[in-house]
Amino acid sequence: MKFIFKCTLAICCLSLLIGCQSNTPTEAEDRPNIVLILSDDQAWGDYSFMGHEVVQTPNLDRLAAESVVFKRGYVPTAVCRPSLMTLVTGLYPHQHHITGNDPAGGFREARYPREDLLANIDTLAKLPTILGDAGYLSHQSGKWWEGNYSRGGFTNGMTQGRRHGDEGLTIGREGMQPIFDFIDTARTQEKPFFVWYAPFLPHTPHTPPDRLLSKYEAMDLTLPVAKYYAMIEWFDETCGDLVNYLDQNNLRENTLIYYLCDNGWIQKEDKNGFDVRSKQSPMEGGVRTPIMFSWPGQLAPAERTEFVSSIDLFPTILEAAGIQSPGPRPGLNLWANLTTGAPIERDIIFGEGYGHNMIDNAEPEASLAYRWCIQEPWKLILCYDGELEGYGADTHADMRMDPIRLYNIIEDPNEKINLADQHPAVVESLGAAIEAWYPLEKRKVLASSIENE
């Protein structure tokens, strides 16, 4: 089965690389500008266009109305650094080996800039580098963990090399001018551009403007929730500023915008912090996010019901830019599906989760906590005994008390009822699919009843 799965994956990747090019620009001057908008620590349902009855996101609502929107999007892992690296490389964390936020032993400023603590990003093919080779200028702002922005292949940027993103984290919270200046530079040089807008929003610290906080405080919400909702609306305002700038400079018609969140968040009602079923967990609250693509005149707005993953974005964006992928990637190239409306021919997606700290850069399994998959209507989560060092280790410990979990996420989207004991055949089948996708070399397994059969 492993051989068949790998062969099928290779054939699919090859076919996607040489697939339909009829709607793809081929000359540098015809390439679209590309803008990534990435929110940080936001629940998948905390948008007006996703049906939230309190929080207001008018700018993202407008963008969604102009987009192909996948309301059932996912990221493979629910921690920001590995999630961002999946966007940059098109690889799963167990493939790019950046599985957590900090090195083993925890973060210390004096150690962090050392090359050996920044994993192996220099050896990986990166989206900004590939775009640069095709004539793009690129700008990094917001979250970026991998040293100076240049190490990601960006031609321009804000982060100098400290944890999280240092100077880059001022974007959005202190205005959008660095991005606007970059766009002006690219226009002057008549270059297509790629903008990485990954602000520290609505991420903690939840310090929204008083004008927004007072609005939500008046709704009889607890203070932590009011602050979180105000942060979301603040982030939404910055997204509006960015899209409006493109409009005002007559750039929108040749700009592809894609949007998602790096990982989920469920705000605690009575105090600061997140619920254990969100960030760092494999639950819907941790890994689900809306994913949308907007390009006026090229993509007809639509709401799509298929499952998609952030692993799909790397090949899709390259295809939209008319650039061949540097090699097979596990994600699907969705461009033909976006342009024609054709259904996505895939019925299963996968993900994984690790401890906050990377115990061993060369061995992802050292901190492996979960592998999971979704095959409608089922979601299977299997738990493993990797070392869970660092922030949130207690969160993982609580989650892994139930090591085999099967949910019908269509009927039970909040994952309240574990059906593993009632459907052993489904557990066995999906467990085999997970093993074929990401085989474990060392079987440090809590879910031993499945793995040892």
Instruction: Enumerate the CATH 3.40.720.10 domain ranges in the chain, comma separated.
Output: 28-340
- DSSP annotation of 326: S
In angstroms, what CA-CA distances link 426 with 93, 204, 430?
26, 39, 6
Instruction: Enumerate the CATH 3.30.1120.10 domain ranges in the chain, comma separated.
Output: 349-451
Residues in contact with 411: Cβ distance below 8 Å, sequence separation at least 6, in sequence order: 377
Which pTM was predicted? Answer: 0.91
Residues in contact with 210: Cβ distance below 8 Å, sequence separation at least 6, in sequence order: none
The DSSP secondary structure of 338-366, one letter per residue, reads: HHH-PPP----EEEEEE-SEES-TT-GGG
368 pLDDT more than 90: yes
| CA count, 13 A, side-chain hemisphere, 274 | 27
Q: Give the model's confidence band at 27: pLDDT under 50 very low, under 70 low, under 90 confident, else very high.
A: low
Q: Give the model's confidence band at 122: pLDDT under 50 very low, under 70 low, under 90 confident, else very high.
A: confident
pLDDT in tens, 252-302: 999 999 999 999 999 999 999 999 999 999 999 999 999 999 999 999 999
> Looking at domain 28-340, what is its CATH homologous superfamily?
Alkaline Phosphatase, subunit A (3.40.720.10)
**CATH code reported for the domain at 349-451:** 3.30.1120.10
Q: In what helix (H) or strand (E) does residue 246 lie, and over which residues does it extend? A: helix 223-248
Distance CA 278, CA 82 (A): 16
In angstroms, what CA-CA distances link 232 with 288, 353, 377?
17, 25, 30
